Structure 1
Amino acid sequence: MDENIKILKGIGLTMYEAQAYVTLTSLISSNAAEIAEKSDIPRSKIYDVLKGLVKKNFIEVEDGRPLTYNVKSPVEVLSREKEKINSEIDDTITRLTYIYENGMSQVQAPIWRIYGVDKIISQEIEIISRAKSSINMRIGFLFEGEGEALVKAFKKRRKLNVNILASPTCYINNEEFDIIEFFKENDIPIQKADIPFVKVLISDSKEMMHTYTKFTEDKRNVIPQTAIGIWNKYEDVARNYDERFMNQLNKMKSKKQNNKRD
């Protein structure tokens, strides 16, 4: 199937409507007989097909004998449909997230194990995306591509209070990665700290995720296939970790201020 027709069917056109619209984008303006011939649509069906496209605002019809059909610009038509779809998806996300979070609150033992780097990063981004006020992170290492994914997520949520304590560097694919410099360059709040080879993300003092992995013995490279995330929605546990995080952060800030005074 032609890729353009596949996309048009995906946004709600029938097969014949998609064929007719694609054909008319090259003809620009034509009558029903020519459109049917060029698009291989049966003459018996072409008028209903064109009527459907007019109703969906993909083409316009001009009076005359015969009727003339004028195509609307793909930029105009598809931009409109894209905006409509995005709006519908946003509404669906809102509705389903409400159902999802209500369901999560009913789970008796809200702890899950997550295997695989891609799934772990996706879960981190999901937690950040639904945070209401704060994200606190301890970063002892990063997976390949994880830093970029985190920065992108944080930049979408500029109103969040983000605090990161991190080791200065880690190794990814045998190359040293400067964690502190990377986040600073992207204008994400971060402070250097003595963090073990573990990662902790805490959201709103309500949920958190620990991430563990094994490392090579030489350069302490991450071994991705050993990665595991522990996603925890016990609020008492998350609150306890968050309080410990903030105590450490406040002590570091106080120490810096005292050093400046000296």
Structure 2
Amino acid sequence: MDENITVLKEIGLTLYEAKAYITLTSLISSNATEISRKSGIPRSKIYDVLNGLIEKKYIDIEEGRPITYNVKSPVEVLTLEKERLNSKIDDTVTRLTNIYENGMSQVQAPIWRIYGVDKIINKELEIINRAKHSINMRIGFLFEGEGEALVKAFKKRRNLNVNILSAPTCYINNETFNIIEFFKNNNILVHKADIPFVKVLICDSKEMMHTYTKFSEDTRTVLPETAIGIWNKYEDISRNYDERFLNQLSKIKNKKKNIT
């Protein structure tokens, strides 16, 4: 019960409200006297506690003598709380990201090195999340779990124009990973291309991420501990790379048309 109380307090209930709600989930329906006795909440405070739960829509009442308090399903009330919190977090992310991006625009030399696979993937997801129009990627390799993270991010931003040029396969943990097949199976548009062992993500022709890593000499598997990302917010450079990407994409599409 202690863990349940902790969670309920974290999402906004008082200690007594948490105890009363947990108690009522086992009683289902009861009066104030019984709820007070079972929960250990002082009789002098139980009505204020129960009124607080009514206001927060965790329970409702049935008029009578005495008044009966009916618990609402935890699935119902906690799902609503989860949606409310997610909405508040999303709003906060939007506000703070605007502040962050405004601060970044004031930096005189907008190029940063990023070390570590987790930080590189998180930066890619951050860029995708704030993209307004397009994400273009050249993929010569993927880190473990990166493909799944990218697909999840793309599916959340279905309004984006996403184009991927990719090598057919790479090696992760000494096993072959079929990049083309993976993205196609997840309904992400991808085109096979001759891509070296590098990864480039371009956002709205305004910013980009270059990612490099070393590979084992025997199987050419990714060595994640050597990974480094170069995050570049020079628009002229990003625009130049995007134009080259779109030219290569156009040639590949035209070649496919001629074949068919």
Partner of 2:10: 10
Partner of 2:161: 161
Partner of 1:204: 204
Partner of 1:231: 231
Provide, for residues 177-202 of structure 1, a one-character-per-residue CA deviation record: whole Å limited to 9, x for no partner. Answer: 11112112222222222211110000
Using the size of structure 2 for normalisation, the TM-score is 0.92
* 1:209 counterpart letter in structure 2: M
The sequence identity of aligned pairs, in percent, is 78
Deviation at 1:249, TM superposition (A): 1.8
Sort the Cα spacing of 1:75 and 1:255 in 2 relative to 1 into closer, same or farther, 3 A.
Answer: closer
* 1:146 counterpart letter in structure 2: E
Sort the Cα spacing of 1:237 and 1:59 in 2 relative to 1 into closer, same or farther, 3 A.
Answer: same
* 1:236 counterpart letter in structure 2: D
Partner of 1:25: 25
Counterpart Cα distance in 2 of 1:252 and 1:81: 48
Deviation at 1:106, TM superposition (A): 1.6
Counterpart Cα distance in 2 of 1:171 and 1:223: 10
Counterpart Cα distance in 2 of 1:140 and 1:108: 31
Sort the Cα spacing of 1:250 and 1:63 in 2 relative to 1 into closer, same or farther, 3 A.
Answer: closer
Indicate whether 1:43 and 2:43 are aligned: yes
Using the size of structure 1 for normalisation, the TM-score is 0.92
**Aligned ranges for residues 233-248 of structure 1 at < 5 Å?**
233-248=233-248
* 1:30 counterpart letter in structure 2: S
* 1:29 counterpart letter in structure 2: S
Sort the Cα spacing of 1:81 and 1:170 in 2 relative to 1 into closer, same or farther, 3 A.
Answer: same
Name structure 1 gaps, 5 residues minimum. Answer: none
Which aligned segments of 4 or more residues in structure 1 are displaced greater than 6 angstroms?
none
Counterpart Cα distance in 1 of 2:186 and 2:44: 60
Sort the Cα spacing of 1:256 and 1:62 in 2 relative to 1 into closer, same or farther, 3 A.
Answer: closer
Indicate whether 1:60 and 2:60 are aligned: yes
**212-221 or 29-38: bigger deviation:** 29-38
* 1:178 counterpart letter in structure 2: N
Paired residues, number: 260
**Aligned ranges for residues 63-82 of structure 1 at < 5 Å?**
63-82=63-82
Counterpart Cα distance in 1 of 2:69 and 2:210: 60
Name structure 2 gaps, 5 residues minimum. Answer: none
* 1:210 counterpart letter in structure 2: H
* 2:24 counterpart letter in structure 1: L
Q: SS of 1:217's equivalent?
A: coil
Counterpart Cα distance in 2 of 1:60 and 1:190: 53
Deviation at 1:64, TM superposition (A): 4.2
Deviation at 1:218, TM superposition (A): 0.3
Q: SS of 1:34's equivalent?
A: helix
* 1:252 counterpart letter in structure 2: I
Partner of 2:189: 189
